[in-house]
Amino acid sequence: MIRRATEPMPERVVANKDRTSIAVLDAALRQFELFGITCSTMEDIARRARRSRMTIYRRFPDKARLVEAVILRELRNFLADLEVHIQSVATPEEKLIEGFAFTLKAVRSHLLLQRLLESEPEMLLPYLTTDGAPFIATARDFLAGHLAHELDGDYADAELLSVAEIVVRLILSFLLTPQTQVGLDDREQMRVFALRYLAPILQGAAQSAR
């Protein structure tokens, strides 16, 4: 079943009972932004977080786990920002259009994503491709939940999940291969693209479900 948007959505990670974990994640994010993942060590992150290496290893057994935690937190924070952005949008089609434009702009301006794509794509690509299932599922379920809430059961869950996954994978494609003949240089072009190509997918899903 799709989690409806009326259920608790991902909250922006600004506070946590485990302040040490938050400090470590903050330090790791900044370290990766400045120096990349390959050149950053757990000792570098411990120094930046002002914590001992042992303290970090208790929470994150290795650097791969820490990298995954940083990326997942960034995704959760993005979804919380997206939640705020589309709250006032009236229709499901408009939510899809605005969500697409907001997301594409956000991923193109994300400092860590863009740094890794430019200098260390081999470190990032597994999280967005072969090992990307958890992140795709999180984004897909978020979008499908919003659409399900707005459409009041007019769509089958499977149809909504399919629409949501198509949108998520399309955004990933534009992120990983930004050079394209499709004009998506500003918000208005993104909205026009979504209206022309994504909204009909949602409408087609409704017809199929009925």
H and E: helices and strands count for the chain: 11, 0
- Total domain count, the chain: 1
Residue 206 banded pLDDT, cuts 50, 70, 90: low
Residue among 142, 147, 35, 131 at smallest CA distance from 91: 147
Residues 8-36: what's their mean pLDDT?
78
Indicate whether 30 belongs to any domain: no
- CA-CA distance, 138 to 196, in Å (whole number)? 26
Indicate whether 57 belongs to any domain: no
Q: Domain range holding 195?
A: 71-209
Indicate whether 60 belongs to any domain: no
Indicate whether 35 belongs to any domain: no
Cα–Cα distances (Å) from 125 to 37, 133, 135, 146, 165, in that order, read 13, 12, 12, 28, 18
Q: What is the pTM of this model?
A: 0.76
CA atoms within 13 A of residue 185's CA, in its CB half-sphere? 2
Q: What is the pLDDT of residues 135-179, one digit of tens each?
A: 888 888 888 887 777 666 555 678 888 888 998 898 888 888 887
Taking CA 60 as the corner, what is the angle to CA 57 and CA 65, rounded to the nearest 5 degrees?
135
Residue among 173, 100, 164 at smallest CA distance from 138: 164
**What was the pLDDT predicted at 135?**
82
Indicate whether 138 belongs to any domain: yes
Indicate whether 108 belongs to any domain: yes
Q: What is the pLDDT of residues 42-79, one digit of tens each?
A: 999 999 999 999 999 999 999 999 998 998 899 889 98
**What was the pLDDT predicted at 149?**
73
Indicate whether 52 belongs to any domain: no
Indicate whether 130 belongs to any domain: yes
